[in-house]
Structure 1
């Protein structure tokens, strides 16, 4: 039988045999990719509508990014931050300009960027704001997802992410997302920062109420508190703007960036802020062996060049309208709600029909890859290089799944 000749089942079993559990992946084993499409070990093609949780905003193996990586591989890959390399200044200058900030601190993963932001905010609070030593607090939102380190899961409200990883790091206050009154009540003389996702990704692409982000900005300004925007998933073109904060005309004090910054090739993250914030760090007080390495900088500089054209922000806006129109047409036909901005959507499936996991498995069988979260919700975040026809194809497959 054909099924007996497939390589996928054995490859899945082999992967399970030699790894500890973290994610719960779909049973697809990808071996190659191009643009918005991936191919598995059995030669079957799938439309990638997750794009590495926005790490692949420019699609798989974007020619300009692959060329930048190849060119750098032939010259220099790593020096550590003990030395300066010839790609470092160009990257930092370009990213600072894109963010409208004075300084950039490169790291590797999104969690590292968040940890860096926390450390900088606390140091700023002690040295600039005058918070008594050891008393700094940061206000965060329910439903947040900022990473998996022990400090970050300490202020998670997701039991799967948090349970049994204590003792937990103190210094955080959790308030409902989108509630300005609760936020204002939580901010006091010990508060050094408000840390938020402009759109909550892992929670199911939850968009805050209109006026919320401007209200956060105003409150932080009035109370002398840093507004830290975690744009690791929402930033770099995903929502139709370079940063999701721009959709509400808001400029935070600090951007936390990652995922798409590495072009889908290498892990790259960064913190961007003005000198009066990031300037509190002195040599030896923070660091990363691989942060800002030559290969990462070469690729990320090309990412910034692609974003500087505005092409991908426009694509996300225009194609996002098409995606959301198609999805909203399915409300009442298996979907109960659709949220999102640009090429980013959270879909709530009628739980009486199926779970989010079941929906993703059925989409996979129809050649479309997506990811579930929180029961009956699935997320779509296709590469910004996707075409209108490919969007229509993905929506049609979802409609067929919902129709049973």
Structure 2
């Protein structure tokens, strides 16, 4: 079946989550009755959503479904100023062959070897945040104490940004990603971040350091292919993608670990099992469910439905990661299921460049918090936690904890 006909009014999308542990209830029904369905975006425009694992994977591999955010038909959850749309956000908004060349130029910054070299510094950052939390008030907000400081400081480390600017980054990033703030507020946050990063790249062109941006400048100049604006876009992508996503996974993952004794025991009893726990938590929560977006450049058939040229598509990774045809009892946290085929980091040419860094940060945070604060527990019931349904990336606005 293919969902609503042209005579039906497509339902409003996105569907909000009502519980930290559950994806929207609508997904289960759509996978059965309308896996490729039309919806109405907050902008009033129509788009398609894909809810089955196989369809999502197929879409993310199809070269006829474009990531080009400058395309006037690219589906947006909120109206943006034209100048916002014009930014390709570097890799995220490119198609092959430009995307292939640009990704190849930076992929060496995220090799397993380079990430392992960064591990001691990430551990220091996490320990410093734990020290500060233990020295502060009890209860504490884990979001403010850990979830956002850690990835923010790590990204600052990678890009060579002064840690004094951390609060600026957190504030502007949260404003820009909000789906409820006025467009002008979001636009100003976007411009603030872009202006800062433009000035940062300019400074590193004059006085390079030992950081990702400086290395990209040197490499581009050596190859006679240096592009200042492209590097600003790349810095913008790394900042926003690596900051909000990891932060929200720290919060939700720790909530599950605190409230699931067998998961906590798994990590504390065998720290070597932490990577396996992380994979299942990534699959289970899939916080980037609605950001894998494409526009059809020509007619494409997916799941028996023709998606016509110019139509927008949301490939719902969360729904795919809870497809019972692929993951048995998907609503349960099962560390032993072996969930490495999950789509939490996307799939295909645009699969998350920084996934090794994200995994490392999550492993270190979960291990360290459970080891250093064995009595850590939520200070309020899960049903009372404020859900972040007002942003493109799901999470928690606050996570009060005590010990």
Q: Under a length normalisation based on structure 2, what TM-score does the superposition of the two structures give?
A: 0.26
Bigger strand share = 1
Q: Which has the higher contact order (CA 8 A, sep 6+)?
A: 2
Bigger helix share = 2
